[in-house]
Amino acid sequence: MTVGTAFHPRTAALNEHLQWRTWSGFFAASAYHDSPVIEYNAIREAAALIDVSPLFKYELRGPDAVRLVDRLIVRDASKLVPGRVFYTPWCDEHGKVIDEGTIHRLEDEDEAQVIRWTAADPQIRWLRMNAHGLDVTVRDASESVAAVALQGPLGRTVPEAGTGVSFADLGYFRRRRATLAGIPVDVSRTGYTGDLGYELWIPSERAVEAWDALVAAGEPYRVRPAGMLALDLVRLEAGLVLIEVDYTSAVHSQIPSQAYSPYEIGLGRLVNLGSGDFVGRRALVAELAAGGPARRLVGLEIEWPEIEALFAAQGLAPSAPAIVSRVPVPIFAGGQQVGRVTSTGWSPILKKMLGLASVGFAHARPGTRLAMEWTVEARRGTVTARVVDLPFFDPPRKRA
């Protein structure tokens, strides 16, 4: 049975059109308002509240907590000092990505290091299995911690108004404790939007109180709740991959081609092969030695005038979709299929049709022109898609 998140008593009342989807067994609003574009705009122009409580959250505690992290993630965890947050993938022994998420180093308690590990999929078995021989306990905090993202140009102003303290000094991918209306919360400078923003980690039993405090603080700034459809648009603009859409978790892959290494999903820059071992390292070394993987994640700008022409050929006015399509679509070079486009959507801010695609290495260089399948009125056509650097949209305020 699908259940509500800790914010459900509030979000349920706001969901005007009862547009829900499920996310890890929880109700998640697709859109609260008449149109997801209203929420998209709140994220890009003001501030939006996004309930991200369905994320899996684990608490790693013990003298070896950081060693466990270091054993699993592709980055060098020795740099994960208290107050820092890492975004990272982690791999199986074949160097294929299991999941990716943010890993937060909380303040040490006595001798114990404390980590908050977030993930899209359940990880407790993997974490405990790999904790063998280490002095660390892994506890599932998924239900005891509620999480809400405050994202947008005013994403700092609102939590500052709520907590009465400045976050201007809290750098990108840093975190610290704060008090919101008497509630102890943890604030991280993170998000899945490519915009200025924070995520607040809140004890579930006080989630509703915290929500009310944020709404009250955000009222003068026109803060709005935003759902998954708007989130999908902004993460596409930010060039952020989505599990089971842009790649398949190694855990769920049924055939070898469904499993992806970090180098294949644009996360190669995070991989640190030089500082100690981690699960999957040897496979990744071998992959690089063999010249790197045969396919890469690329950003695509899809020629809108050509899409218009396909509509016109059917006597139709062109229409741009308001939501991101997650239907994989073939993409060609010289008549041969060279990959697939996994997320496709219209960027309201760039006025461009964007795509994330997995294509052969030879076709991954920025500037490469490919032909992507595009269907209008159930008639197949192709349109030009140009490989471009990611992210598509990268406002300076994201890191400011």
Partner 1 sequence: MAQRYDAVIIGGGHNGLTTAAYLARAGWKTLVLEKRNLLGGATTSDEVVPGYTFSVLSYVVSLLRPEIIRELELAKHGLEILPLDGTFTPLHGDYLWRRDDHAATLREIRRWSATDADAYEEYGQLMAEMARFIKPILGMVPPDPTSIDPRDWLGVVGLGRDFARLPERQQAAFIGLMTMSAADFLDQWFETEPLKATMSASGIIGTFLGVRSPGTAYVLLHHYMGEIDGAFRAWGLHRGGTGAISAAIASAARALGAEIRTGAGVSRVTLTLSGDRATGVVLESGEEIAANVVISSADVRRTFLQLLEPRVLPADFEAQVRRFKFRGSSGKVNLALDALPSFTTNPGGTEYLRGAVSISPSLEHMERAYDEAKYGRFSRRPYVDIVFPSLVDPSVAPPGKHVMSCFVQYAPYNLAEGPGDWDNQKEAFGNAVIDLVSEFAPNLRDVIVEKQVVSPLDMERDWGLTEGNIFHGELSLEQLFFSRPIPGWARYRTPIRAYWMCGSSTHPGGGIMGSNGRLAALELLKARKAKVA
Backbone torsions φ then ψ of 178, nearest 5 degrees: -155, 170
Residue 38 binds partner 1, judged by CB under 8 A: yes
Helices (H), the chain: 8-14, 36-45, 65-72, 124-130, 157-163, 207-218, 228-237, 281-289, 304-313
Q: How far apart are the first and last CA of the chain?
A: 42
The single residue among 318, 337, 362, 369 that binds partner 1, judged by CB under 8 A, is: 318
Q: Tell me how far, at minimum, the Cβ of 100 lies from partner 1, in Å.
A: 27
Give the three-state DSSP class for 263: helix
What is the signed CA dihedral for 261, 359, 239, 201, rounded to 10 degrees? -30
Nearer Cβ to partner 1 (294/316): 316
The single residue among 44, 71, 75, 363 that binds partner 1, judged by CB under 8 A, is: 44
> Which residues, numbered 134-193, are part of the site for partner 1 (CB under 8 A)?
153-154
The single residue among 12, 14, 19, 45 that binds partner 1, judged by CB under 8 A, is: 45
Nearer Cβ to partner 1 (73/324): 324
Nearer Cβ to partner 1 (317/378): 317
Residue 258: Cβ within 10 Å count: 13
Contact 279, 92 (CB under 8 A): yes
Distance CA 283, CA 218 (A): 48
- From residue 335 to residue 364, the character string flagging contacts with partner 1 as x (rule: CB under 8 A) and all else as - is -----------xxxxxxx------------
Q: Rounded to 5 degrees, what angle do the CA atoms 249, 118, 159 make?
A: 135
Rg (CA), the chain: 21
Nearer Cβ to partner 1 (44/295): 44
Total of chain residues touching partner 1, rule CB under 8 A = 32
> Which residues, numbered 205-264, are part of the site for partner 1 (CB under 8 A)?
219-222
- Those residues whose C-beta lies under 8 Å from the C-beta of residue 42, and which sit 6 or more positions away, are 48, 152, 222, 223, 224, 226, 230
Residue 14 binds partner 1, judged by CB under 8 A: no
Nearer Cβ to partner 1 (54/299): 299
Residue 283 binds partner 1, judged by CB under 8 A: no
Residues that bind partner 1 (CB under 8 A): 17, 34-35, 37-38, 41, 44-46, 153-154, 219-222, 304-305, 308, 316-320, 322, 346-352, 393
